[in-house]
Amino acid sequence: AQKVTQAQTEISVVEKEDVTLDCVYETRDTTYYLFWYKQPPSGELVFLIRRNSFDEQNEISGRYSWNFQKSTSSFNFTITASQVVDSAVYFCALSEGRVSGGYNKLIFGAGTRLAVHP
Amino acid sequence: NAGVMQNPRHLVRRRGQEARLRCSPMKGHSHVYWYRQLPEEGLKFMVYLQKENIIDESGMPKERFSAEFPKEGPSILRIQQVVRGDSAAYFCASSLVTGPEAFFGQGTRLTVV
């Protein structure tokens, strides 16, 4: 069965601190995709990143970085020098991708609420 | 190049009424997914549709909920005889035939009073 666990329910940091959001997943498939989404207080879902199971390279985008480790089934997300605007709920999600059909039902974790204080 | 459009953004219904949520996928996308987010929870998959076909409705409640994606027009999620427990944010996502990308709409927030 597929499952995504975000063990941290809430994290509170002070601006400029680095913060890491954990994500652990379970799947039997060898081909799958991992996602992170941000949900700010306004409620929409903002796509942050997608990784496929064959690409374990870490990724950096500005202050954001992602560490994908198949050995531990983890896909952690780090925000460097956090800012108040980073305050949001962050969701990790898993999709067992299929080459044809594009069927990509997402399994979401419960989310981590990040509060960045000035 | 409009994104996934959902309307209405906010919907208030009295218990027992029907709620109709609409989702227009991105241009060229023929796959639509509906997710429900209960208060303080993550998103849960409800149903996956292609044009005129329901492919996977494993996440849909057995009663009162239905979904369609007609040949023309938006996808509709219909909730009959709403109850307070149906109050949630309902998100629609769409994707291309072959891509694993899923682009989300801004959601419809249903409040049942």
Q: What region does B69 belong to: left with phi over 0, alpha with psi -120 to 50, or beta? A: beta
**pLDDT at B96 > cutoff 50:** yes
pLDDT of residue A12: 97
A77 Cβ contact list (under 8 Å, min separation 6): A20, A21, A23, A36, A48, A64, A65, A66, A67, A90, A92
Q: Which residues of B touch A110 (CB under 8 A)?
A: 41-42
Give the one of A43, A52, A99 whose C-beta lies nearest to B89's C-beta: A43
Q: Which residues of A touch B95 (CB under 8 A)?
A: 102, 104
Residue type, A13: V
Report the pLDDT averaged over residues B78-100: 89
Q: Percent of chain A having pLDDT more than 70? A: 93
**pLDDT at A103 > cutoff 70:** no
**pLDDT at A97 > cutoff 70:** no
B24 Cβ contact list (under 8 Å, min separation 6): B2, B4, B5, B6, B74, B75
> Confidence class of residue B68 from pLDDT cuts 50, 70 and 90?
very high
Test A102 with B56 for CB contact under 8 angstroms.
no
A63 Cβ contact list (under 8 Å, min separation 6): A79, A80, A81, A82, A83
Give per-residue burial for B18-28: e unless 16+ CB within 10 Å, then b: ebebbbbbbee
pLDDT of residue B6: 96
> Confidence class of residue A26 from pLDDT cuts 50, 70 and 90?
very high
> Confidence class of residue A99 from pLDDT cuts 50, 70 and 90?
very low
Touching check for A107 and chain B: CB below 8 Å?
Answer: yes
Tell me which chain A residue has its CA closest to the CA of residue B48. Answer: A105
